[in-house]
Structure 1
Amino acid sequence: MPAAPASLLDPIALNCLIDELVEHGYSVRPNFLPAHLTRQLNGELLALETQQRLTAAGIGRGHEHDLRPDIRGDAIRWLDRESRAQRAYLEAMNVLKDELNRALYMGLFEYEAHFAHYPVGSFYRKHLDSFRGRGNRLISSVLYLNEQWPADGGGEIVLYDPQDDSRALARVTPEAGTFVCFLSEQMPHEVLPTHQSRASVTGWFRRNASQGNLVDPSR
């Protein structure tokens, strides 16, 4: 593992994540990244919200993209490496990408991510991040940014059994530093209604599905 960026990731936690992903199809790792980094990212997201630089998120892609607040209520802004915190986070995810490729031969090509803010009362109905054979997102990830999340705060992500999407496998409190990843094509999931402002970084490790000279796909 490259020494500099890998220093953000604990090798034991990294190996546990990979083992859990193989065994269960998902992993939940508290305190996966340094607390100072999650605080910096949370500060950036709060500033973006205050400056009204977030965009309402929709469903579907390309010509099928549509705003559906009855399905999804978060607002987002894509990470673009404009800050030191963003660069540090994306470098850590690049290390994770390389380790997943080394251990699992997944052929992951890149990682993309956006800030996500869920205002009070918002949610995201049960869905898959990628349909088998139709997309290029292989592993989804979420890093939570809210410190001291209350027990009654809501906003949990619920991961469901791929063979029976009525059976919950995990229900994760969105506490700062907790990192969740799961197989995008297999794991149905939802975000429960949140009772206070909820902040995270959501991302995807992707395969290269280029066609011609175009790197696929557009976001």
Structure 2
Amino acid sequence: MPAAPAPAPLLDPVALNLLIDELVEHGYSVRPDFLPRQVIAQLNDELTELETRQQLTAAGIGRGREHDLRPDIRGDAIRWLDRNSRAQRAYLEAMNVLKDELNRALYLGLFEYEAHFAHYPVGSFYKKHLDSFRGRGNRLISSVLYLNEDWPRDGGGEIVLYDPEDDSREIARVTPEAGTFVCFLSEQIPHEVLPTHQARASVTGWFRRNSSQGNLVDPAR
């Protein structure tokens, strides 16, 4: 019997190389249609069900003892990916491929990828911030995958990226259309989510390096 054809790769090699080139040149990359539409639709269905069943948690700012709910700063609700669905496993497999390619090309020493669903209800936003302070965190590259099909032109909810040298200067504004994948340097690119005029769905994640301390390998986030 002839061998079964190999499954199509989750990530297009050309798109991968373009992403890496843009990340090196600009500090960020915006890639439309980065993952298969079926995976996008399944992730969106899963997040919709979680929101309907009220299984999302209000997101806060800070970590550990400094964690606090601040709806005046951030209004999304989240749930961490746990690989408990086919769509999550497919997405995390794709991110593992991306992690390995980033390490191969840029020698970043990325250790793992963590991600959560993010649901922004109507009127919510996330004010300008950095995902990791320079030299203090272990998040190196941030990512956002949008899940909303047919996002209207007046839907709001764009992510805005700012110049690392002048955080008043906008360098990119991205509409949260399904399949668009954004990644940027966590310690360098200030960004915000503008108020959304309809419910906005995404998967937000971070490629992390190992920050060993004492006898703990990659201590608690």
Match of 1:150 in 2: 152
Distance in 2 (CA, whole Å) between partners of 1:205 and 1:198 is: 23
Percentage of identical aligned residues:
88
Q: Deviating runs (4+, > 4 A) in structure 1?
A: none
Match of 2:52 in 1: 50
Distance in 1 (CA, whole Å) between partners of 2:7 and 2:144 is: 19
Q: Call closer, same or farther: CA 1:102–1:200 in 2, change over 3 Å.
A: same
Query: C-alpha deviations, 1:126-146, integer Å up to 9, x for none?
Result: 000000000000000000000
3-state SS of 1:86 partner: helix
Distance in 2 (CA, whole Å) between partners of 1:5 and 1:140 is: 28
3-state SS of 2:192 partner: strand
- 59, 62, 74: which one aligns with 2:61: 59
Q: Call closer, same or farther: CA 1:186–1:172 in 2, change over 3 Å.
A: same
Give 1:211 shift: 1.9
Give 1:212 shift: 3.2
Match of 1:85 in 2: 87
Distance in 1 (CA, whole Å) between partners of 2:219 and 2:204 is: 17
Match of 2:3 in 1: none
3-state SS of 1:117 partner: strand
Distance in 2 (CA, whole Å) between partners of 1:6 and 1:19 is: 23
For the Cα contact (< 8 Å) 1:6–1:95, is it kept in 2? Answer: no
Distance in 1 (CA, whole Å) between partners of 2:19 and 2:98 is: 10
Distance in 2 (CA, whole Å) between partners of 1:212 and 1:44 is: 39
Match of 1:68 in 2: 70
The structure number with the bigger radius of gyration is 2
Task: Give 1:97's aligned amino acid.
Answer: K
The unaligned stretches of length 5 or more in structure 1 are none
Match of 1:186 in 2: 188
Task: Give 1:143's aligned amino acid.
Answer: L
The unaligned stretches of length 5 or more in structure 2 are 1-5
Distance in 1 (CA, whole Å) between partners of 2:102 and 2:171 is: 22
For the Cα contact (< 8 Å) 2:122–2:197, is it kept in 1? Answer: yes
3-state SS of 1:218 partner: coil
Distance in 2 (CA, whole Å) between partners of 1:29 and 1:100 is: 15
Q: How many residues align?
A: 216
Query: C-alpha deviations, 1:104-160, integer Å up to 9, x for none?
Result: 000000000000000000000000000000000000000000000000000000000
Match of 1:212 in 2: 214
3-state SS of 1:151 partner: coil
Distance in 2 (CA, whole Å) between partners of 1:119 and 1:52 is: 13
- 29, 32, 41: which one aligns with 2:31: 29
Correspondence list, 1:96-115, <5 A: 96-115=98-117
Give 1:6 shift: 7.6
Task: Give 1:36's aligned amino acid.
Answer: Q
